[in-house]
Amino acid sequence: MRHLLLGLATALIPVAASAADTIPTGRLPDIAAPIAYRLDLTIDPEQPRFSGHTEIDVDLKRATQTLYIHGRDLKVSKAWAKSGASTVAVTYSQVHQLGVVRLDFAKPLAPGKVTLGFDYDAPFGDGAAGLYRVKVGDRYYAWTQFQSIDARAAFPGFDEPGFKTPYSVTLTTPADAVAVTNGAETGTRKAGKMVTHSYSVTEKLPTYLMAFAVGPFDMVEGTIPATAQRATPLPLRILATRGQKDKMAYALKETPRIVQLLEAYFGSPFPFPKLDQIASPVMGGAMENAGAVIYDDTLLLLDDGSPTRQKQNFGMVVAHELGHQWFGDLVTPAWWDDIWLNESFANWIGYRIGDQWRPELNIGVGAIDEALDAMNIDALKVGRPIREPITDSGAIDSAFDAITYGKGGQVVDMVESYMGRETFQKGVQLHLSRHARGNATADDFFRSLAEAAGDPRIVTAMKGFVDQQGVPVVDVRQASPQLSLSQKRYAAIGAGAVPATTWTIPFCVDKGGTKSCTLVDQPQMTMTAKGSGTLMPNAGGHGYYRFDMADADWSALIADAPKLPSGEALATIDSLWASFAAGGARPMRLVEAAGAFAAHSDSNAAVDSGTRLAEWDRRGLVSPAARPGLHRVLLGTYLPKLEAIGFNPARGANGGDSPDVQKLRTDLVSIVTREARDPATRGKLAAAAKAYLAGDAAALDSAFLAAALRVHVEEGGAPAAQALFARALASTDAYFRGRAILAIAGSGRPEVAQWLIGQIGEPRLRATEKVSIVSGITQTLATQDIGLAYLTANFEKLARDTNLTSVNAMLSIPSAVCSVEKAGTLDAALKPQVAAFGRGALTLDRTIEKVRNCGALKAARGQEIDALFTGK
């Protein structure tokens, strides 16, 4: 029906000689620019639709009778244009499913200031896109998520980042609702049975950074004390759905410190007059709306007893989103092809400031972990560079992936490590001061860094990583004191030939605690390495590259595993496994490294090899005959470590341990109960889950909730799954609800998976939860085919019911498969559906390549793996 209506609307548009023949699905024609918006919305979340009155002051650059703007699925009852003293009728027609609108004026408009006006209504969304609503308990709440092109689903406008204007906003809502937007509330007045809220005019913002939240929220208030950069206190509020006040105090207490650290780094005050931190149960991530940041419940709502990983996520994500208030909101990309810089920088500073906020949480090393995950995607033949021209709005969302966040953040870290912290910080401050309240490009940022460093080669190095796809691998050979270096693009078995690529790599090695650096800008070259001792070719783990070495050097590095700094340990494990996947390192070497790194004091380094070995089990790289041997290796490596630190699943039982030891215990419990299936540890979890579900909240610490519920369903089967599912749907606690649903989905029991698939139509099930169900079922080998069958039969329906983040997650689900043959089957089944949907093609292509490459690896090295665990 949509395509029929769009075709009719297009047919009714009168053809004008000055009109563009092609619908602008990328940038709008350079005919007009908005100057200011006045938004008057009526939002009652209990109703299926909202309504609005929008006025936009526009600078019309030349006379025209036609204008393209944006609006998606808005039912416009009236549209007009006011030019001088005359009001001109407007025909409003949506001409493309991406939300491109054509305005036809009854007569040509002269250049100059014009006001466009619209009265309309539209449906609330179900997933976190546009203006959406969710029922929590017995009430509905509404939030917005506008990045990248979803503001057009809430109001007509010029939905591009390059257009920054002030906004005057009024919201009419139910009388008992709290109503939030970017500006501070200045007053209310009765509007019949409703209330109209007025707000201060915003700073200049693009459409994607506007936000609204309406509902009977619980709220706590405070202030962020004045700092050297800000002379007055900053108002701070935390908002969440009713019944969660006991989880709001943590954010109120901890947010001020993060803001103060950011102000000190940027050397300037928080850019907006107030800060609201708002929780949504279906957000999935978080969004940096200026002065009104929206987070997933599980990121913002926690307490002092919450798991280490949840506190790490809080610190990193809050620092990331609040870092955006400067880098993204104060200074905004001119177009979406530079959105990578927003996200890459924010990811980097999220880890940096998060680490400063609570050093004991060990947040910073997560940046390296995330970068190594990004390398697995960047190493594929199908892909993109960090910075890629975007000519069609349907391609924008491909920029929000691991390449932008993980790779981009690590490239920023690598350049900062090479330049030095103070010099890099000077470049950042220079960039922000030059472009405050405006727009800037990545090239503007590069120039600021080069000027601060006094070294134009910094630009060459950064551009090489930003503008080229792929992961460098540097082969290092010792001829003391010289190192012989050669670089090429990394390729795993199955990838085939990859293009020859050369980077300018800020390359730093460590020998016995002495660091030496150079810029590797040739396919082969040498460098002098100072110091003596074990060679570590990625000092600190800061470099965005992999390395390979002679076997003797690998042996020495693995022998030093427990003494390596955390980042170096993770980089070593990744490069060793990458060597195996490319046909180099032997499987026995990986098991040897797992045993050595298990003794590392950092939780991430201690379990990383075990997680990778467990992945062999989950993806079927080991044969059924070899699985018991793999499980014995996992038990023999990780159970003694768990026994050494002890395990009691009761709430608060391990509160005296450091946060990293607490996290280590959680990770070890997952390995020894999921893959290795240790009976004693599983028994403790099963008993704790039973008591917890019977009402004894103290029986189970939230750190072990996911593992305990999984064991509960694995052992209890369908009756346990059905009872837990009913409890999850009735819960207003997003943390419990999400982990309960995943526990059921990942049970590995076909009868449970088949029953759960049948529940996807349950009306209380949220769109993002449907994706979680299909993902959990597919990631478990015993139920994988059930999940794949549902996904391939229902992709388009699932995609249209949810947000774009979930669509990309959905298309990544088949990555759990390991088969050349199934790669072709999945491609044939999903590609036509993705093409019809219009988004997600790159994610699907990457997924198919991962499935095919895993199958190729299994064919090439599966016998070696099996021989390792069977002894045959």
Q: How many whole angstroms separate alpha carbon 682 and alpha carbon 710?
A: 10
Digit-coded pLDDT (tens) for 455-499 = 887 777 788 899 999 999 999 999 878 999 999 999 999 988 899
Confidence of residue 388 (pLDDT cuts 50, 70, 90): confident
CA dihedral 419, 260, 541, 805 (to 10 degrees): -110
Which pLDDT belongs to residue 803?
62
Give CA angle at 471 (572, 581), nearest 5°.
60
5-14, 118-127, 624-633: least confidently modelled range: 5-14
What Rg do the C-alpha atoms of the chain give, in angstroms?
A: 28
Is-same-fold flag (1-216; 472-555)?
yes
E strand or H helix at 66: strand 64-70
Which residues fall in the annotated binding site for Zn(2+)?
A: 320, 324, 343
Percent of the chain at pLDDT exceeding 70: 97
Mean pLDDT to the nearest integer, 61-80: 97
Domain locations in the chain as residue ranges? 1-216, 341-467, 472-555, 596-870
Amino acid in the structure at residue 369 = D
| C-alpha–C-alpha distance, residues 298 and 281, integer Å | 8
> Mean pLDDT in the chain?
93
Cβ-proximal residues to 7 (8 Å cutoff; 6+ apart), any chain:
none
pLDDT-based confidence at 20, cuts 50/70/90?
Answer: very low
Task: Tell me if the domain spanning 472-555 has CATH number 3.20.19.10.
Answer: no
* pLDDT surpasses 60 at 505: yes
Pick the CATH number of 1-216 from 2.60.40.1730, 3.40.50.1820, 1.10.10.10, 2.60.260.20: 2.60.40.1730
Decide if pLDDT at 817 tops 50: yes
Among 200-204, 228-232, 502-506, 628-632, which is the least confidently predicted range? 502-506
Residue 806 has pLDDT above 80, yes or no: no
- Per-residue model confidence (pLDDT) at position 15: 32
Measure the CA–CA gap between 295 and 282, rounded to whole angstroms: 9
| Binding site members | 320, 324, 343
- Nearest Cα neighbor of 702 from 311, 306, 313, 281 is 306
Q: What backbone torsions phi and psi does residue 365 show, to the nearest 5 degrees?
A: -65, -20
Which amino acid is residue 293, in one-letter code?
V
Task: Quote the pLDDT of residue 61.
Answer: 96
**Residue 335 corresponds to which tokens in the numbers above?**
């177009």
Contact between 290 and 182 under an 8 Å Cβ cutoff? The reply is: yes
DSSP 814: G
pLDDT for residue 602 is more than 80: yes
Q: What is the pLDDT of residue 804?
A: 63
Mean of pLDDT values over 28-48: 97
Mean pLDDT of 217-241: 97
What ranges in 582-645 are assigned the alpha helix state H?
587-597, 603-619, 627-645
Q: Are 435 and 331 in contact (CB under 8 A)?
A: yes
- Of the given ranges (311-325, 367-381, 452-466), which has the lowest mean pLDDT? 452-466
Q: How far apart are CA 819 and CA 785, in angstroms?
A: 13
Q: At 715, is the pLDDT very low, low, confident or very high (cuts 50, 70, 90)?
A: very high
Pairing relation of β-strands 546-549 and 472-479?
A: parallel
Catalytically active residues, by annotation: 321
Nearest to 728 by CA among 744, 712, 717, 715: 744
DSSP for residue 404: I
- Supply the pLDDT for residue 174: 98
pLDDT score of 284:
86
* Domain range 596-870, CATH class: mainly alpha
Average of per-residue pLDDT across 319-344 = 95
Q: Given this model, what pLDDT does residue 9 score?
A: 29
> Contact 485/474 with Cβ under 8 angstroms?
yes
> pLDDT digits over 536-591, tens only?
999 999 999 999 999 999 999 999 999 999 999 999 999 999 999 999 999 999 99
What pLDDT is stored for residue 751 in this prediction? Answer: 97
pLDDT band of residue 393 (cuts 50, 70, 90) is confident
Residue 104 — pLDDT band, cuts 50, 70, 90? very high
Q: Is 3 exposed, middle or buried (0-12, 13-18, 19+ CB in 10 A)?
A: exposed
pLDDT tens-digit map of 256-313: 999 999 999 999 999 999 999 999 999 989 999 999 999 999 999 999 999 999 999 9
Domain 341-467 classified CATH 1.10.390.10? yes
Residue 18 has pLDDT above 90, yes or no: no
Q: What is the pLDDT of residues 185-205, one digit of tens each?
A: 999 999 999 999 999 999 999
Q: Which pTM was predicted?
A: 0.93
**Averaged pLDDT for residues 632-642:** 97
State the DSSP string of 481-527.
TEEEEEEEE---TTS---------EEEEEEETTEEEEEEE-SSEEEE
798: confidence class by pLDDT, cuts 50, 70, 90: confident
